[in-house]
A and B are shown apart, each in its own frame.
Chain A
Amino acid sequence: MSSSSPKGLSRIAANRLHKELKEWQMNPPAGFKHKVSDNLQRWIVEVNGAPNTLYENETYYLQVDFPENYPMEAPQVIFTHNPPLHPHIYSNGHICLDILYDSWSPAMTVSSICISILSMLSSSTEKARPVDNDRYVRNCRNGKSPKETRWWFHDDKV
């Protein structure tokens, strides 16, 4: 209970994150590992590429930061270190995925986000950066959050 009520999280958000974490520990989504830490507000999640996909045997790390009024607002989810090469993942780790922004719903959980991301990875047919990667990354250079980006969600194939 060392992290029972971290600063920056509302009581509701903290309760819900405790609950999610407990659920995760009992029933983690396949291919993911939560790296144990005291910080309830920032989760680091290890992602293992699914077998028989382009990302098989590759390991990536997701950083999930929760806003104060989570789950009413989406968490910020980015890849850290070496983001996977994917047409919807920018080299700064930002992910173009509608549920993380416009289509967020408070009924979603970290676990369901992870599954969506793994699904996005798994359905990729080519390892490539988004076409506008350089421009976008340049615009984000001063540490902009992907949640401040106005995303276009135009490709529902990958």
Chain B
Amino acid sequence: MAEPHNERNASSSVDSDLGNTTWDSGKQNAGSSSSGFDCNICLELAQDPVVTLCGHLFCWPCLYRWLRGHSTCHECPVCKALVEEDKLVPLYGRGNANSSDPRKKPPPTAYSDIPHRPPGQRPPPASPSSGQNHFNQHHAQSSGFNFMGPQGTGAPMAAARFGNFTFSAGFGLFPSLFGFQVHGFPDGNGFGPGYPFGFPMGFHGAARSYAPPAAVSDQQEAKLSRLLMFLGFIVFLYILFL
């Protein structure tokens, strides 16, 4: 009887102490970096954490004081890389009991001379396409971009952008590309009805071949192609208005 009871106790205490465990290791090991989230200046668990582009973690007040008050040139205290305040990345974690909305949080009294830490640089939200097609479309988009890019003219690229959204435009502008598409479509088993037209056959294969189930690379791919889509859109606007 006693054994399972103990076991349960042990596991529950581990669970309930999870938060404390990290906190304690941060405190007791005192900067031996077992937690890995200590500020490189005050050696405490980072408050208002920011990360430099070189990857070093600081409390925003600590780093601010160093950059503004004491460093001769703006360099990372750890690796001496150039640090630009507007390129710092704030870390918005979860679960800090006393933090409400980070935007509204008044600076702590001790740090009253310290401005708010720089905000995160938020890319535009994901486009509202859904499910599998979302992924496929993005693959297709990036392929299209890569293919069209080297041609040097903006027009085909614009058509490619357009093609993702309105079939008629892609078709109308570039009927010849549609011919490739007809050939390619039966090949691309995995592509749903949302698959855009106007892409050469070769890229169907390519898109399919690098479409493994790895979610991380999918996400990266999606991000990249969103960026490319944005660039393409700008080029398109440029062509329209100039």
Contacts and interface: CB of A to CB of B under 8 A. Distances in A.
Interface of A: 11-12, 15-16, 19-20, 22-23, 26-27, 71-73, 102, 105-109
Given A72-B70, A73-B70, A12 B42 contact: yes
B223 interface: no
A114 B72 CA distance: 24
Nearest to A104: B70
Given A16-B41, A72-B69, A102-B72, 10 more contacts: A11-B110, A19-B30, A19-B42, A19-B43, A22-B28, A22-B30, A22-B31, A71-B41, A105-B77, A107-B77
A74 to B, nearest CB: 10
Contacts of B56: 107
B41 A26 contact: no
A27 B75 CA distance: 28
B69 to A, nearest CB: 6
A43 B62 CA distance: 24
B146 interface: no
Nearest to B111: A12
B31 to A, nearest CB: 5
Given A72-B66, A72-B69, A72-B70, A107 B41 contact: yes
Q: What is the predominant secondary structure among interface residues of chain B facing chain A?
A: loop
Interface string B57-78: 0000010011001101001011
Interface in B193-214: none
Question: Top 3 closest A-B pairs, CB basis?
Answer: A22-B30, A107-B77, A23-B30
Nearest to B41: A106
Interface string B9-34: 00000000000000000001111100
A9 to B, nearest CB: 13
B143 interface: no
Nearest to A23: B30
A107 B42 CA distance: 8
B70 A26 contact: no
Contact of A19 (B44, B66, B80, B110): B44
A5 to B, nearest CB: 14
B40 interface: yes
B210 to A, nearest CB: 41
28 contacts: A11-B110, A15-B44, A16-B42, A16-B43, A19-B30, A19-B42, A19-B43, A19-B44, A20-B30, A20-B43, A22-B28, A22-B30, A22-B31, A23-B32, A26-B30, A71-B41, A71-B42, A72-B69, A72-B70, A102-B72, A105-B75, A105-B77, A106-B40, A106-B62, A106-B70, A107-B40, A107-B41, A108-B77
Contacts of B31: 19-20, 22-23, 109
